[in-house]
Amino acid sequence: MKVLIAEDDRTSSLLLRRVLEGLGHEVVAVTNGAEAIEQLTRKDDLQVVISDWVMPVMDGLQLCRHIRGRQHARYVYVLVVTARRGKKRYLEALEAGADDFIPKPIDAEELGARLRVAERILGLQAQMKQLQGLLSICAYCKNIREDDDKWVPIEQYVSQRAHTMFSHGICPNCAAEHFKDWSPKPRPGRKKDRPDK
């Protein structure tokens, strides 16, 4: 993933960069929230922000609020890092829009686990966005094109992403077109449709 670090302490920033790169992530580092916003505006491929709470110019919570206030922007997963402890601090960070909170000093294994959670959540976000967005569908067979240019039936595509089961039937228009002698049976408790006089 592409990770943006917002950390004013040079040593902490370098250590965090080394850990993230060791975990296989691409890293961009800045020294405060204002610089982080500038990077997020210029680069729309940053997926995770790891921000220190206390920074000059704009702190981590102000940065969180700004990120969550952006309209029509790609979702960014935000981790707030701080030496401050306690439930009140944790809740304050979540209220500001942080997705997670990690204490200093950062434990590399814990950070790796939290980033795997971020990856899962961002993956689900991307799937939902795709389901809400434009799908490439064949005009004839109604198969849908997946990311790898493979075409799959619509039922398979949706059920893999939304855990939806399908039942099949025939609508009255298709029944009339494909089964000329077919006439619908009235459902129990309903009067048979009569033609208008």
pLDDT tens-digit map of 71-111: 878 889 999 998 877 888 888 899 999 999 898 889 999 99
Asked whether residue 64 falls in the same domain as residue 117, the answer is: yes
Identify the sign of the CA torsion 134, 139, 142, 145: negative
How far apart CA 60 and CA 49 sit, in angstroms, is 10
CATH number at residue 67: 3.40.50.2300
- Count how many domains the chain has: 2
| Main-chain dihedrals φ then ψ at residue 6, nearest 5 degrees | -115, 100
pTM (two decimals): 0.65
Q: Is residue 197 part of a domain?
A: no
- Dihedral in degrees, nearest 10, Cα atoms 170, 174, 177, 181: 20
Closest CA relative to residue 28, chosen from 100, 76, 66: 76
Q: Which residue has the higher pLDDT, 119 or 181?
A: 119
Question: Which helix or strand (DSSP H or E) is residue 151 part of?
Answer: strand 151-152
- pLDDT beyond 80 at 120: yes
- Beta-bridged to residue 26, according to DSSP, are 2
Confidence of residue 184 (pLDDT cuts 50, 70, 90): low
- Which residue did the predictor score with more confidence, 186 or 80? 80
Does residue 63 lie in a domain region? yes
Label residue 180 by pLDDT band (50, 70, 90).
confident
Among the listed residues 10, 11, 3, 12, the one whose alpha carbon sits nearest the alpha carbon of residue 103: 12
Residue 124 tokens read as 């689900």
Domain residues for the domain of 60 are 2-132
Burial of 114 (0-12, 13-18, 19+ CB in 10 A): buried
Q: Considering the domain boundaries, does residue 122 fall inside one?
A: yes
Same domain flag for 124 and 43:
yes
**Closest Cα partner for 121 from 50, 23, 48?**
48
Same domain (yes/no): 117, 156:
no
Give the residues across from 30 on adjacent strands.
Answer: 6
Q: Are 27 and 5 in contact (CB under 8 A)?
A: yes
